[in-house]
Amino acid sequence: MTKTTIRRARAADAATVAELGARTFTDTFGHLYPREDLTAFLAGTHTAEKVAAELADPHTAAWLAEHDGAAVGYALAGLCGLPHPEVTPECGELKRIYVDQSLQGEGVGRQLMEVALAWLEQERRGKLWLGVWSGNLGAQRLYERNGFRKVGEYGFRVGGSVDHEFIMRRG
């Protein structure tokens, strides 16, 4: 049995993270949106150029999960950008965490979350935040087991569609 490893993503990983992000987002949520909304969203968030800019930002970090030499998951963390009145410049956010469907339920998401939260706790002095789709009950349970509690709601735009999202905070 091959072990899944987690490592910090580097600039050279931008295209890999972008492809993995687009694929895992589509696999997980693609059925919720009209094709044009999904296409517009992915073109604005999951391109090699966009990921390269995120990886170059000193306030942002990403990690890749690799299994048998293939990228199977990733996490992205940085400054909190959620629309909540208690967010301060010291706050950190777990921005994305996605795992290939073939390894969901194997602990890869938990591993990615642990490394991202440890980095945020080291880098940020404020509370830790995340946004999660209101219909993603499994992710909400995982976050609650890790000390996050729902403190707000907002609309997350995917092209012309707007998702009902929960804002969760730890600390």
Plot region of 2 (φ>0 → left; ψ -120 to 50 → alpha; else → beta): beta
Whole domain around residue 98: which residue ranges? 5-170
pLDDT value, residue 2 = 64
Per residue in 47-102, pLDDT (tens digit) is 999 999 999 999 999 999 998 888 999 999 999 999 999 999 999 999 999 998 88
Structural domain count, the chain: 1
What pTM was estimated for this model as a whole?
A: 0.91
Q: Cα 51 to the chain's mean position, in Å?
A: 12
CA distances (Å), origin 16, targets 23, 58, 70, 153, 157: 11, 20, 10, 31, 24
Strand ranges inside the chain, DSSP E:
5-8, 61-67, 70-79, 92-99, 128-133, 149-158, 161-170
In this predicted structure, the answer to whether residue 38 has a pLDDT above a threshold of 60 is: yes
| Percent of the chain's residues with pLDDT above 70 | 99
User: What are residue 2's phi and psi, to 5 degrees?
Assistant: -85, 135
Q: What is the CATH number of the domain that holds 44?
A: 3.40.630.30
Per residue in 99-139, pLDDT (tens digit) is 988 877 788 888 999 999 999 999 888 999 999 999 999 88
